[in-house]
């Protein structure tokens, strides 16, 4: 069993800030794990970052399973959380248990993530009662982009903020081990963080959360200059990759690669 488990993540509340990241493939997962990240999410952001879809809705259970398997092969320490894709948990509780169970049984994930608030409490309770740890996710929930009318900051109006606070408490009551807060004012994230006993993990939710998560290709600067305001780029890999590909092409076209040192 990996050093980081859902129950260990739960115990970090108020003691340790959690620096979490996403991963979608073996090599990146191994590098993120070696950096000491406690939690690695195989997000349904896979749909956009790796598979080239416009949003997260099209990604399937089979695509997610394929990538969660690759990630768990690369991870020795971190808790690997598999994101439940759109329509894998909404249709029925039975469906949710079957699909979440596949992530643990076939792909060796340690937990699943589910988007949504109080309306998901029954499903979360059924999963946790069956030994499947659940990471909650409220605020901006990208699977509801059509209902929300776009990627917008959530909880700015008092009634929205109250609903998010109620959602957090309902999910905590249903047994989540931690809660992702996405795109909300820092003051609201702070209030939610103080209102629940489980760690909150923010993305675009300010500094008061118990941890942070970023989409790894965003942090690595692989998507050019277009990214959400909350992203901090720690590298410019997109530019570095383009330069490397162009230098390789230039070398091949001009007979500079391969040379004697690359030959048998
Ligand atoms: O899919 C994802 O990567 C996520 C994170 C942004 C939390 O849900």
Does position 226 have pLDDT exceeding 90, yes or no?
Answer: no
| Phi-psi label, residue 65: left if phi above 0, alpha if psi -120 to 50, beta otherwise | alpha
The class (CATH top level) of 6-233 is alpha beta
Residues 6+ apart with CB under 8 A from 178: 6, 9, 10, 18, 39, 135, 136, 198, 199, 200, 201, 210, 211
Inform me whether the pLDDT recorded for 89 exceeds 90: yes
Q: Give the mutation target among 41, 143, 183 for probing the ligand 1 site: most ligand atoms within 8 A of CB.
A: 41
Query: How long a stretch of residues is the chain?
Result: 264
Residue 169's pLDDT is 98
Residue 202 Cβ < 6 Å to ligand 1: no
Q: Which atom of ligand 1 is nearest to the CA of 214?
A: 6
The pLDDT of residue 165 is 98
Is the pLDDT reported for residue 86 higher than 80?
A: yes
The separation between CA 117 and the C-alpha centre of its own chain, rounded to angstroms, equals 17
Q: Is the CB of 167 under 6 A from ligand 1?
A: no
Summarize the chain as % helix, strand, coil (round to 5).
45, 15, 40
Indicate whether 14 pLDDT > 70: yes
Tokens coding 98? 């079957």
Q: What is the mean pLDDT of residues 27-51?
A: 98
Percent of the chain with pLDDT over 70: 99
Q: Are 4 and 38 in contact (CB under 8 A)?
A: yes
Q: Which residues contact 38 (CB under 8 A, 6 or more apart)?
A: 4, 8, 9, 12, 18, 19, 20, 78, 79, 211
Give the residue, by CA position, lying nearest to ligand 1 atom 1. 43
Summary mean pLDDT of the chain: 97
Residue 22 has pLDDT above 90, yes or no: yes
Q: Report, as an integer, the average pLDDT of 249-253.
A: 98
What DSSP string runs through 33-101? HHTT-SEEEE-TTHHHHTT--SSSTT--HHHHHHHHHHHHHH-SSSEEEEEPPTTSSSS-HHHHHHHHH
* Candidate of 25, 213, 223 to mutate for ligand 1, largest count of ligand atoms within 8 Å of Cβ: 213
- Give the pLDDT of residue 224: 67
pLDDT tens for 146-188 read: 999 989 999 999 999 999 999 999 999 999 999 999 999 999 9
At residue 1, the pLDDT reads: 85
The yes-or-no answer on residue 182 being catalytic is yes
E-state strands within the chain:
18-22, 39-42, 79-83, 111-115, 134-139, 178-182, 200-203, 211-214
Q: Which atom of ligand 1 is nearest to the CA of 83?
A: 1
Q: How far apart are CA 81 and CA 229, in angstroms?
A: 25
Residue 129 C-alpha to ligand 1 middle, in angstroms?
24
Indicate the burial class of 140 (C-beta count within 10 angstroms; 0-12, 13-18, 19 or more).
Answer: buried
Q: What does each C-alpha distance from 132 to 33, 75, 177, 262 come to in angstroms?
A: 22, 19, 10, 50
Domain range list for the chain: 6-233, 237-264
| pLDDT at 21 (0 to 100) | 98
Return d(Cα 16, Cα 20) in angstroms, integer: 12
61, pLDDT greater than 80: yes
Residue among 45, 200, 228, 231 to mutate when testing ligand 1 (max atoms within 8 A of CB): 45
Asked if residues 103 and 42 have their Cβ atoms less than 8 Å apart, the reply is: no
Residue 223 has what pLDDT?
80
- Provide mean pLDDT across the span 100-119: 98
From the list 85, 87, 89, the residue with the least C-alpha distance to 65 is 85
């Amino acid at each position: 069993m990996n050093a980081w488990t859902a129950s260990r993540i739960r115990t970090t509340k108020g003691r340790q800030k959690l620096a979490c990241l996403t991963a979608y493939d073996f090599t990146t997962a191994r590098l993120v794990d070696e950096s000491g990240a406690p939690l690695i999410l195989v997000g349904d952001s896979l749909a956009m970052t790796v598979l080239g879809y416009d949003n997260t809705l099209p990604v399937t259970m089979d695509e997610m399973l394929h990538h969660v398997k690759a990630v768990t092969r690369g991870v020795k320490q971190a808790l690997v959380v598999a994101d439940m894709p759109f329509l894998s948990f909404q249709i029925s509780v039975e469906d949710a248990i079957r699909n979440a169970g596949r992530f643990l049984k076939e792909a060796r994930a340690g937990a699943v993530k589910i988007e949504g608030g109080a309306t998901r409490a029954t499903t979360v309770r059924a999963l946790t009662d069956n030994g499947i740890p659940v990471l909650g996710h409220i605020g901006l929930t990208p699977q509801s982009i059509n209902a929300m009318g776009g990627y917008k900051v959530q909880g700015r109006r008092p009634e929205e903020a109250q609903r998010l606070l109620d959602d957090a408490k309902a999910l905590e009551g249903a047994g989540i081990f931690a809660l992702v807060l996405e795109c909300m004012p820092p003051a609201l994230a702070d209030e939610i963080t103080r209102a629940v006993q489980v760690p909150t993990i923010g993305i675009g939710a300010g500094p008061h959360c118990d941890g942070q998560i970023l989409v790894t290709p965003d942090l690595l600067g692989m998507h050019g200059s277009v990214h959400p305001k909350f992203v901090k780029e720690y590298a410019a890999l997109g530019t570095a990759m383009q330069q490397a590909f162009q230098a390789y092409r230039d070398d091949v076209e001009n007979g500079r690669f391969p040379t004697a040192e690359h030959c048998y």
